[in-house]
């Protein structure tokens, strides 16, 4: 049997000692045999370097040095790596068993795809399930309208990354989306209907601590698309839908940041521009209205009940893996 292609995984990290070991273990425990792994730390002041030293013999490389943000750290890892396929896993997220094998098998079966993405579990800081996020078969048009892809479950072909270029360090919140757009501009992309990774939503995560800033990046991505040669025609044809997506994603993150009034204003703008974009998130908009009315606990109750139902749909091996990882959490 021919040797499997080399896969490179990069983990950027900064003061995430509470979760870093889980991320590392989830990569090293994968059943894919031809793997290289780099961790790029931004001079953490917690116990991160102790964890990296613990695993140093099993890593292909790690550094702890100043950087210019997450995109810069990831780019450092990309430059160091040499795999035919490549991905990054943030230090507070982790892979599910078999994720890499499933993604690479799919990419090899579809040589025209520049990247493949799967579905993800969303958990809180303690590792308790919040939601199962399942995505559709999106293309360039969908991404331009701010359809979401779960970053931890994305795997790229190196040739696609080289064609698109490294992450743009101007973006600090939607850096992944801007890269997916550049890849989709030149390659087909594909979805695998399988849970590949777990995304963690906790108080220190950017998508929680700085949720209100995502809308600013969305606006910058919108302006960038307007002048991007491979997107100009689609932008002119769908500008209202795209702008509706900007307001929708801003409303979503403002709602999560506990700013319901501002969120609802963005939701209304999205609804006026292109109703289907806003209405695909009608539950969240409803909960935003309830939050303004002082009925926020209703959302919490609904989220708990939904999570309880969704846990029953998970396979026994996924549940066992999540439980085992929770025992290794670094305090």
Separation CA 78–CA 75 (nearest Å): 5
pLDDT of residue 1: 40
Among 16, 1, 195, CA closest to 91: 16
pLDDT of residue 205: 63
Please name the residue that has the structure tokens 């953490």.
44
- Cβ atoms within 10 Å, residue 315: 11
pLDDT of residue 295: 78
pLDDT of residue 229: 93
Q: Judge residue 291's burial from the number of C-beta atoms within 10 Å of its C-beta, 0-12 exposed, 13-18 middle, 19 or more buried.
A: buried
Separation CA 94–CA 90 (nearest Å): 8
Q: What does each C-alpha distance from 166 to 115, 159, 163 come to in angstroms?
A: 14, 12, 9
pLDDT of residue 14: 95
pLDDT of residue 136: 95
pLDDT of residue 143: 98
Q: How many CA atoms lie within 13 A of 250 on its CB side?
A: 26
Q: Per-residue pLDDT for the chain (331 aa), expressed as one digit of tens each?
A: 458 999 999 999 999 999 999 999 999 999 999 999 999 999 999 999 999 999 999 999 999 999 999 999 999 999 999 999 999 999 999 999 999 999 999 999 999 999 999 999 999 888 888 889 999 999 999 999 999 999 999 999 999 999 999 999 999 999 999 999 999 999 999 999 999 999 998 776 666 667 778 899 999 999 999 999 999 999 999 999 999 999 999 999 998 888 899 999 999 999 999 999 999 999 999 989 988 888 778 877 888 788 788 888 888 888 887 777 655 544 4
Q: Cβ neighbours of residue 199 under 8 Å, at least 6 residues apart? A: 93, 120, 121, 122, 123, 133, 150, 151, 152
pLDDT of residue 296: 74
């Amino acid at each position: 049997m021919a040797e499997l292609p080399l896969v490179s995984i990069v983990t950027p990290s900064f003061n995430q000692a509470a979760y870093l070991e889980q991320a590392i273990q989830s990569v090293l425990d994968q059943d894919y045999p031809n793997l290289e792994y780099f961790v790029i730390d931004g001079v953490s002041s917690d116990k991160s370097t102790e964890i990296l030293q613990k695993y140093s013999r099993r890593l292909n490389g790690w550094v702890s040095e100043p950087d210019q943000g997450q995109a810069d750290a990831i780019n450092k890892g990309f430059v160091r790596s040499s795999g035919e396929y490549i991905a990054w896993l943030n230090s507070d997220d982790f892979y599910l068993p078999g994720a890499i094998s499933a993604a690479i098998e799919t990419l090899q079966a579809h040589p025209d795809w520049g990247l493949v993405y799967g579905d993800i579990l969303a958990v809180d800081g303690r590792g308790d399930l919040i939601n199962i996020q399942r995505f559709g078969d999106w293309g360039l048009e969908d991404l331009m309208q701010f359809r979401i892809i779960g970053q931890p479950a994305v795997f790229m072909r190196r040739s696609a990354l080289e064609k698109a270029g490294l992450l743009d360090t101007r973006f600090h919140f939607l850096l992944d989306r801007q890269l997916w757009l550049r890849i989709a501009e030149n390659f087909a992309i594909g979805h695998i209907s399988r849970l590949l990774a777990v995304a963690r939503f906790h108080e220190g995560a950017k998508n929680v601590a700085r949720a209100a800033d995502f809308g600013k990046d969305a606006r910058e991505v919108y302006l960038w698309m307007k002048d991007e040669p491979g997107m100009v025609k689609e932008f002119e044809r769908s500008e209202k839908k795209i702008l509706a997506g900007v307001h929708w994603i801003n409303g979503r993150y403002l709602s999560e940041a506990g700013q319901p009034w501002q969120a609802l204003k963005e939701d209304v703008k999205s609804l006026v521009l292109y109703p289907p974009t806003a209405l695909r998130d009608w539950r969240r908009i409803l909960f935003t209205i309830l939050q303004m009315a002082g009925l926020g606990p209703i959302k919490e109750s609904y989220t708990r009940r939904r999570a309880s139902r969704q846990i029953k749909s998970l396979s026994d091996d996924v549940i066992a893996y999540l439980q085992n990882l929770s025992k290794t959490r670094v305090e």
